[in-house]
Chain A
Amino acid sequence: MKLDVRYVLRSYGILIAFILICIVMTILSPVFLTVTNVLNVIRQSSIYGIMAIGMTFVILTGGIDLSVGSILAISGAIAAGSLKGGVGFLPVVLLTLAVGVGCGLANGVLITLGRITPFVVTLGMMSIARGLTLIYTKGYPISGFSGPFRFIGGGDVLSIPFPIIVFIVTVVVAWLILTQTRLGRYTYAIGGNEETVKLSGINANRYKTIVYMISGLAAAVSALILTSRINSAEPVSGTGYELDVIAAVVIGGTSLMGGRGSVWGTLVGALMIGVINNGMNLLGISAYFQLVVKGVIIIGAVLLDRLRQEQR
C-alpha cells in the first residue's frame, strides 16, 4: 500500500510548526544547527521517543499507559543488577526486554480480562513497578558497567549514535506494523469501535493486550539505552517520563479517543519536545520556563488539530 497521505497531512500543521521553531533557533543560536547539536537533540529525544512510539499503539486503541516511566526504572534496575551479578550481555538484554513485556502483559490482562480501565490499571502498575524498583535497589543506584553494554547508549555506527539508530528502526518497524499487519489495522479498529471489532470475529482482547506489551517493550528498550548511557540505573529514573511520552504522542496528532494517529506524528512530537528543551537550554532560559512552554505547546498542538478538524 502507498504511504497513507491523509495521516501525513494531518501531521503537517505540527510539522510546519516544528520547522519554524528550528528556523528560529538556527537564527537565535549559532550552535543549534551544528552536526554535534542535532545528533545530541535526536539522541536525547530517542529515549522517550521510543517509548512514545510504544505509547502510540496504546493510545490508538483508546487506552493509556501511565506506567512506562516505572517500567523503565524496573527494567533498567534489573539490567544493572544482573550485569553486576555477572550475567552475560545478551541474556541481560533479553531479560530486560522480558521484564518490560511482562509488565505490559500484566497491564493488558488486567485491562481486558479484569475489565478495569487502562487509567486505573497503569496508575497502579506505575506505583507497583516503582516500589519494586526501590525494593530491588534498596534505594541506591547501581552503576559502573563495562564491555558491550556501554555501546547501547554510548556507541556510534558510522558516527551516528547507536540510540538514534534504535529510534529510527523502532519508528520504521512500528510504521510497518501499523499499516501492513493485522495487529496494526486492528489497533486502529479497536480504537474506532471495539464492539464492532469483537462482532467481526476478532479477538480484540488479545490485540489490546499486545499493545500494552509493545509499550512495555519500548520502555525496556529505553531503559537499556538510558542505563548504558549514564552508566547507572537510578531507582528514581523515568519519574514523570509518562508525561513527556504522552505529550509527544498528543502533539503528533494522535487522538486520545483512539482510532486516529500515526507514528510519523509521534516522531515529530518527540523531536519537537527535544528541540524545545535543547533550544531553551542553548538560549539560557530557566528550566521553570521550559515547563510552561512545553505545556503551551501541548495544548496548542491539540487546538491546532481541533481547528483543522472543524474546517471540514
Chain B
Amino acid sequence: MDQRQNQTDKANLSLFSEEEKQAIAKTLASFNLPSGVEEEIGERILTRIGNALVEQDLKDLESLKKENADPKTIKFFLLTKIPNLDLIIREEIEFYETKQPALTS
C-alpha cells in the first residue's frame, strides 16, 4: 500500500527545481553517465541520506533551514551523522558510470 502511495507521490512531485536539476547536470557533465540520470542520482543520494537520518536529525535539519544555514554548515551537520557522506555520493555517481555486471537472477 505504502509502495503504491510512494509511487504516486513520486510521480506527482519532483524533488528538484529546474535550477537545481541544471546545476546537478552541469556538475556531472564531465562524467560518462547515461543521459537523463542526473536527477535520479540526486534522488538516490537523497534516499541514502534520508535512510541514515533519524527523526531528531530531521528536526535539526529543519531548524538549520529556518536559520538559513549555509551549505557548509549543513554538510558539517550531515557529516556528524553520516561520516561517509562523500563516499555515498561518489558511489551513486560511479554506480551509473560503471558498467554493471549482469545480474544472474
Q: Do A and B come from one complex?
A: no
